[in-house]
Structure 1
Amino acid sequence: MPFLDVADPGFSFTAPEVFAAQAAGWYADSPVGLIVLRHAEAQELLRDRRLDHGGDGYLVLNGITSGPVHDWWVPMMVNHDGAEHRRLRGLVGRAFTPRTVDALRPYIREKTEALADEMAATGRTEFVSAFADRLPLAVMCELLGVPAADYATFSVWTSDIGLIFGLAAGGDTAARVERAVAGLDSYVDTLIDEKAAHPADDLISAMVGAWRAEQTVTRAELRNLLVTLVFGAHDNTRHQFSNTMVSFAEHPEQWTLLRERPELAGQAVREAMRWRPSANTVLRRATVDLEFRGLPIAAGTFLTVAAQTAQRDPRAYPGGDRFDITAERAAPLLQFGGGPHYCLGSALAQAELGEALPILARRFAAPVISGEVTWRPAIGIHGPDELPLHLTAAPG
């Protein structure tokens, strides 16, 4: 089978050799196990009950057998199935009801306009720190009830904890994740006590109240849920914003089209997520010996869905080798997973981009990359760490 060195710092899931492997078959080998390259097989595997999220096996594969990262990862909601998963998801699911998401839309628009004012005053901006980091962080903190004074500290932790999915890249990745987990654990513990003593109209207060009244989860489980929630609501979305601006910088005519037809916003968001997703890979592990499409897969084997590659699979997306916000794509996105583990935060992420992008397109001409873009590793949560842009006022 083809071999893809996904741990190489320069690896890209859109390299010609990757699409050559996709044309040859649905999977490839790699240093982290099987890589799933085609959409149909990926969608089927994400819903296969014979696969799980890897449990501690993923950490062991990366040399972690104990410590703060192990103690956070193993009890995480995604590492549970059946009744245990439903019990945990039932509490955190209150964060992402349609009513909750819709109630945040005016705040998203207001914050976007304010951040756009700041970027308009400079013309040249580092988009990650000026916008992509700040908007999702502000929305998440508004939702949860995190004091604005804590945003800066919170931002570092919620960014670094997302590196958990890129441990194969090596370097200081594991150390950064460990510091982030320890910091967030301590901070969230303090928040739980504060919200218990002084409840307010925010999600953490509601979850703490439900925890105390219903006793369906332990305090440790509540803390784990909140830590997982805050990193999911911030890190994925900030990288999706930056990825989206890169895509529009490479396709300026699509940006102009969005300005002229703001009703395409929802479709533009889905196309941006298809073309360059922030969750570049989705991990699964075989829990039993199985056979899939004629391939024997031993229990314990890890399978990594290459979301970006599979979301350009011409078998699922005719014309999918083009970034086109007018195209109606029938095949579902893969980056949010599937089945009972479908990402709870997907609606909020799409709402943030859907409200923000038409405002940015109205305010600015197509973004122009004005310097070197530094990227996170291709495996895991992927996107620019730095994205220098030249932004000028929109014509007219």
Structure 2
Amino acid sequence: MGRGGGLVESARARVRWAAVHGVVRFFAQRGIKLGDPQAKLIADPATRADPGVVYQEIRERGPLVKGRVAYLTVDHGLIFDLLRSDDFRTVVVGGNLPGPLKVIERHTRSGALHPLAPPSLLSVEPPSHTRYRKLVSSVFTARAVNTMRDDVQRVADTLLDELVASGATTVDIVPAYCAKLPVAVISDILGVPESEQKRVLEFGELAAPSLDVGLTWPQFREVETGLQGFDAWLSDHIAELRKNPGDDLMSQLISASEDGVFLNDRELRATAGLVLAAGFETTVNLLGSGIDLLVRHPDQLARLQNDPSLWSTAVDEMLRLESPVQMTARVARKDLELAGKHLEPGSLVVCVLAGGNRDPKVFENPDRFDVGRANAGKHLSFSGGRHFCLGAALARAESEVALRTLFDRFPHLTTVGTGTRRDTRVLHGYSSLPVSLGEPATVDA
């Protein structure tokens, strides 16, 4: 592209940012001064660092709270029902903008796929969603996930062997372990060669804030770079698998059909991109938060070391307390009553999953970390209904194996400092978490 074309594209991107994020950010910053909880969730740095304060504020104001442009809820029961209701649909990027801004967004968007734009599973409803999900489920079966546990164990052992061999005593555990493990596992699933895994991780990191609204201009440019790079890479990867299919699930998805109808290239890229990104984003965040929780609660770590059967419950408790996905949203399809309030068609409801996960009506002493909590599995972290996370079983299995193996190998591991949280609102986790490994346990030959 020539210099003139580059300037045009840059101008289009700037206009799109202004329409989708700039205007939202401007009004959110004004709303913060007025105490609007939704504005705080969008643009307040203090809320990003500790969103629990705002979640509690919403809870105290009632089951459904009206923000400047959307309703918000942290009520577990309300979120549970809403995610399963046919009276609501998922959000499409730009879909709830005012008319003129919606037109600008539509005419300035890039050709790259977006996780909140069709044909992504996150943004479509039946019948398209039913077809896509059925095809993915046909290859991403519970049996297939169960066979992956050995692969997860192998990857975890290899990564920890490398840490021991390096002689390092202090490492940043997020890039050294929490990110490498799920990327390696999901890459095996989708036929990504080892030489390409670093690129996939880089694209994922750049695109992670794409689920947020009110991005700054620098954040938006990074997201666009990540989405465009990821889309181009996926096109090449799928083309290669078409020519040389393997025994991976991505090759199986390419050849899968529903009544003789296959996913087209755009549908394949959207589906593969979502599975690939979601397959490591959630787990990276959960592993970092899980390590931090166990280090800060040595009594709970001791319980796990004395009774390894609690690991499965512990992972659900980590998902509850430190939800890797903090919130999702739904749009009313028609006039309806919800929690005593009248909603018009198009009304946006933000379901704060992380807030619902600390609802005291459901979870006794909800801020306490309890690896034996009887109802920890009632968390909302994997959404619900027809949009329940396809990779939930894999994320649980990866996290259980990865954390148990880490603390079995390094039982005296401690954190160094406080770590750095990700600069995202919807996704929640650590971008950096330095740890002191301590003396490794003896591994039987």
What does the per-residue CA deviation read over 1:38-96, in whole Å, with 9 as the maximum and x for residues that have no partner?
A: 11111111112111111244584898432235666232122222221111112222343
Matched, 1:206 2:252: yes
Q: Show the counterpart of 1:316.
A: 362
Matched, 1:346 2:392: yes
Matched, 1:68 2:111: yes
**Native 8 Å contact 1:96 1:348 kept in 2:** no
**Native 8 Å contact 1:160 1:177 kept in 2:** yes
Paired letter, 1:136: P
Q: Based on CA coordinates, which of the two structures has the bigger radius of gyration?
A: 2
What does the per-residue CA deviation read over 1:172-213, in whole Å, with 9 as the maximum and x for residues that have no partner?
A: 222222222211221121122211211111111111222599
Matched, 1:219 2:255: no
Paired letter, 1:133: A
Task: Give structure 2 stretches of 5+ with no counterpart.
Answer: 1-33
Q: TM-score, normalised by structure 2?
A: 0.82
Matched, 1:270 2:270: no
Paired letter, 2:89: D
Of the three residues 193, 197, 205, the one matched with 2:239 is: 193
Give 1:310 shift: 1.3
Q: Show the counterpart of 1:37.
A: 74
Matched, 1:82 2:117: no
Paired letter, 2:237: L
| Alignment CA distance shift 1:287-1:174 (3 Å) | farther
Task: Supply the distance in 1 between the matched residues of 2:83 and 2:336 (Cα, whole angstroms).
Answer: 15
Of the three residues 320, 331, 339, the one matched with 1:285 is: 331
Paired letter, 1:154: V
Between stretches 25-34 and 240-249, larger displacement belongs to 25-34
Of the three residues 65, 89, 95, the one matched with 1:52 is: 89
**Native 8 Å contact 2:409 2:440 kept in 1:** yes
Task: Supply the distance in 2 between the matched residues of 1:376 and 1:394 (Cα, whole angstroms).
Answer: 29
**Native 8 Å contact 1:281 1:380 kept in 2:** yes
Matched, 1:19 2:52: no
Task: Supply the distance in 2 between the matched residues of 1:32 and 1:127 (Cα, whole angstroms).
Answer: 39
Task: Supply the distance in 2 between the matched residues of 1:247 and 1:272 (Cα, whole angstroms).
Answer: 8
What does the per-residue CA deviation read over 1:132-173, in whole Å, with 9 as the maximum and x for residues that have no partner?
A: 110000000111110000111111112222211123243422
| Alignment CA distance shift 1:141-1:74 (3 Å) | same
User: Aligned with 1:167: secondary structure?
Assistant: coil
After the TM superposition, list the runs of 4 or more consecutive aligned residues in structure 1 that deviate by more than 6 angstroms.
none
Of the three residues 65, 74, 77, the one matched with 1:28 is: 65
| Alignment CA distance shift 1:42-1:19 (3 Å) | same
Task: Give structure 1 stretches of 5+ with no counterpart.
Answer: none
Q: Show the counterpart of 2:13.
A: none
Paired letter, 1:332: K
Of the three residues 89, 99, 104, the one matched with 2:143 is: 99
Give 1:345 shift: 0.7
**Native 8 Å contact 1:233 1:349 kept in 2:** yes
Number of residue pairs the alignment of both structures matches: 396
| Alignment CA distance shift 1:304-1:367 (3 Å) | farther
Q: Show the counterpart of 1:138.
A: 184
| Alignment CA distance shift 1:84-1:357 (3 Å) | same
Task: Supply the distance in 2 between the matched residues of 1:32 and 1:109 (Cα, whole angstroms).
Answer: 46
